[in-house]
Amino acid sequence: MTTTPSPRARRARFPGLLTAGLVAAGFLTAGSAAPAGAAQLREVMFVGNNWDGTADVIASSGDFARIGRVNIVPDREERLREIYLNPVKLIFFLGIRHGPGEGHDQLVDDMYTTPDGSAVVASRPSFADVVSIDLASGRVNWRFPVSGFRSDHMAVSPDGLRVAVSASTSNTVHVLDIGTGREVGKFATGDKPHENVFTEGGRRLWNMSIGEVNTDLDDPGLDFTKGDRRITVVDTATFRQSRVIDMRQRLDAFGRSDLSDSVRPVAFTPDESTLYFQVSFFNGFLEYDVAGDRVTRVKELPKNPNTSDDRRTFVNDSRHHGMSMSPAGDKLCVAGTMDDYATVVDRASLREGPLVPAAKPYWATVSGDGRACVISESGADQVTAIDFATGRELVSVPVGDHPQRVRIGHVPQGWTGPANS
């Protein structure tokens, strides 16, 4: 079993590091109008601790102090009984544990709060479902089992009323009513749907399928084994495809046939004219002109000299995993996952700022006030805020085991956790 080095040890092994879109949000983006009843709500950040099965709630800016914690798996024993009594479910459950879970169950992936701040809705990969947890009592309001055997990334519509979730083993995205858990639509995707993003005020939904990432067939010559990877864009009124983007063709036309076409985390410019995206195995990102339908620039970021170039050592094929964009659209924040750093990149020049040491950063989002990028350090069990203006680290806050997704949300004023916590 591999032991995760301490944060200090991980930082010390890269001596060359300098110490120091989209606003990833709940149902609001930074600077947007507050929901009805906002006087009774507090803006916060939810940090999903994937291996703990908990979500830490922290301040959305300033000192990012911890406010409370939510148990995302209060029904854990019931779910485990169901799984162990079903041989097929058990096979997939154990496959998740020993594949993407790196020896752990994946108990919370993504999460968003309801518009009234009364509940948090979360996807639970190992349990293949989405649940709504009441923030007052800690109990399950509703549960939606996804098709197939694993749930993954989600997205919430701009009005906060619908949540989309990737069902990664059935190549399906389900769209649910966030209040009731009722399915209002679904659509087919490529293999292993991953990231979801609403655009055009919620009229379009983009899904990025990443293909097979849990095998050791990572040599470029075996790329054909990775499956059907594409971006699927649907009309959210009908859930019919309005556009399918095969990034393989665009990368080849750009002269980068060496890069994978497995699109990982993305960030749109505020006007949604340009898409920035990460791909499997690559230490950097690409720029895509949405209207022109072409890749326009590529940015390669520094490698950590102590990170192996053996692709089989990259977690789920992702060398870099996590991107966010400043509200002004002038800066990108990039999580260099396997290279143990994060950095702020000037969008005009594509010049990176200081490389901020971080232990396996797995996600990047934007603080509530829009001034900082917030990364999850899954190897250090903390989140770290980085100043967009200077590219320097501001503060780190301890959270639970293996934090991944970080989302803006809202809780009632004075809330410090469910009654049963």
Task: List Cβ neighbours of 154 (8 Å cut-off, separation of 6 or more).
Answer: 109, 110, 111, 112, 121, 123, 130, 163, 164, 165, 166, 196
Sign of CA dihedral 156, 408, 365, 146: negative
In this predicted model, what pLDDT tens digit does every residue of 123-156 receive, in sequence order? 999 999 999 999 999 999 999 999 999 999 999 9
Percent of all residues in the chain with a pLDDT value above 70, rounded to a whole number: 90
Counts of helices then strands in the chain (DSSP H, E): 4, 28
In this predicted model, what pLDDT tens digit does every residue of 74-130 receive, in sequence order? 999 999 999 999 999 999 999 999 988 999 999 999 999 999 999 999 999 999 999
Residue 136 structure tokens = 């007052």
Looking at every residue in the chain, the average pLDDT score rounds to 91
Lowest-pLDDT range, 1-10, 72-81, 125-134, 314-323?
1-10
pLDDT value of position 279? 96
In whole angstroms, what is the distance from residue 322 CA to residue 301 CA?
13
In this predicted model, what pLDDT tens digit does every residue of 365-402 receive, in sequence order? 999 999 999 999 999 999 999 999 999 999 999 999 99
57: pLDDT confidence band, cut at 50, 70 and 90? Answer: very high
List the domains of the chain with CATH numbers.
7-412 (2.130.10.10)
- Residue 41: Cβ-neighbour burial (10 angstroms; 0-12, 13-18, 19+): buried
Q: Is the pTM of this model over 0.85?
A: yes
20: pLDDT confidence band, cut at 50, 70 and 90? Answer: very low
pLDDT value of position 25? 35
How far from 28 is each of 34, 38, 87, 127, 184, CA to CA, in Å?
Answer: 8, 12, 41, 28, 21
16-33 mean pLDDT: 36
Task: List Cβ neighbours of 9 (8 Å cut-off, separation of 6 or more).
Answer: none
| Residue 409 contacts residue 111 (beta carbons within 8 Å) | yes
**Closest by alpha carbon to 278, among 243, 333, 320, 245?**
320
258-267 mean pLDDT: 96
Nearest 10 degrees: CA dihedral of 18, 21, 23, 25?
Answer: -120
In whole angstroms, what is the distance from residue 309 CA to residue 362 CA?
18
